């Protein structure tokens, strides 16, 4: 069974940093593109970033470019999102997704940016 | 990276059919067949309903179907059931090597 389990969310002050992790199991992790998608409270889904199976092809939404960095460790079957210079508008549930065309999605981890 | 355009809400009675539109541009929906539709119930993670415009994954009811014409994709749900009440989102790959979502459509089953 494919499983994606996000962790690392929490409360952080504006300007702070967090690193999200997504532990993957049940499939050949290194052969899939992986994605981060976020959803602010009561709002819609927004693509944040993606990365190829071998770590190439990383791209980020303009709203997070220069502040967030996606990466992966194929030995640990884990996807990461390093988030720096966090802003209030980054407050959201962050979902880890295998292959955005088809999923599945993790259950998400909540990031709250507030003083 | 402008969002795809979806109606904010649609409604229908049990047994009826409804269609949700998702309008983009020639840089996304119009140029790629990488359009997916997701269903999201409150407090839950999104669930894939349609991928690559019109393909239904195993386990998803035949009542769900997808199509595309020019820059607009559509999701049709036939034989509406109470459990279909949820938010629905479309997404498409773009020529900027990014992905864009629609703003979401709230489906109410009357």
How confident is the model at residue B32, as a pLDDT? 96
pLDDT band at B61 (very low <50, low <70, confident <90, very high): very high
B45–chain A Cβ distance below 8 A for any pair:
yes
The residues of chain A scoring below 70 in pLDDT are: none
- The SS3 of residue B78 is coil
Using the CB atoms, write b or e for B23-53: b if 16+ within 10 Å.
Answer: bbbebbbbebebbbbbbbeeeebbbbbbbeb
Residue with tokens 């980054």: A90
**Cross-strand pairs, A45:** A39
Interface test with A, best of B59, B99, B104 (most A CBs within 10 A): B99
Q: What is the pLDDT of residues A10-41, one digit of tens each?
A: 999 999 999 999 999 999 999 999 999 999 99
Residue with tokens 């210079």: A85
Please count the other Cβ atoms lying within 10 Å of the Cβ belonging to residue A24: 23
- Give percent above pLDDT 90 in chain B: 97
């Amino acid at each position: 069974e494919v499983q994606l389990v996000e962790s690392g969310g929490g409360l952080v002050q504006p300007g702070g940093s967090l690193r999200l992790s997504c532990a993957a199991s049940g499939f050949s992790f290194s052969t899939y593109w992986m994605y981060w998608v976020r959803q602010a409270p009561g709002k819609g889904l927004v693509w944040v970033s993606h990365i190829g199976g071998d770590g190439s092809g990383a791209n980020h939404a303009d709203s997070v470019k220069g502040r967030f960095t996606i990466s992966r460790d194929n030995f640990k079957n884990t996807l990461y999102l390093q988030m720096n210079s966090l802003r209030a508008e980054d407050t959201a549930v962050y979902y880890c997704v295998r292959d955005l065309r088809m999923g599945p999605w993790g259950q998400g981890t909540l990031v709250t940016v507030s003083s | 990276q402008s969002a795809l355009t979806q109606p904010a809400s649609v409604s229908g009675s049990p047994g009826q059919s409804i269609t949700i539109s998702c309008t983009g541009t020639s840089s996304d929906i119009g140029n790629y067949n990488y359009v997916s539709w997701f269903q999201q119930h409150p407090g839950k993670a999104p669930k894939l309903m349609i991928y690559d415009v019109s393909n239904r994954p195993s386990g998803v009811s035949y009542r769900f179907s997808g199509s595309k014409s020019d820059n607009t994709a559509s999701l049709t749900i036939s034989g509406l059931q109470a459990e279909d009440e949820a938010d629905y989102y479309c997404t498409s790959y773009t020529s900027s090597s990014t992905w864009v979502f629609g703003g979401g459509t709230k489906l109410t089953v009357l």
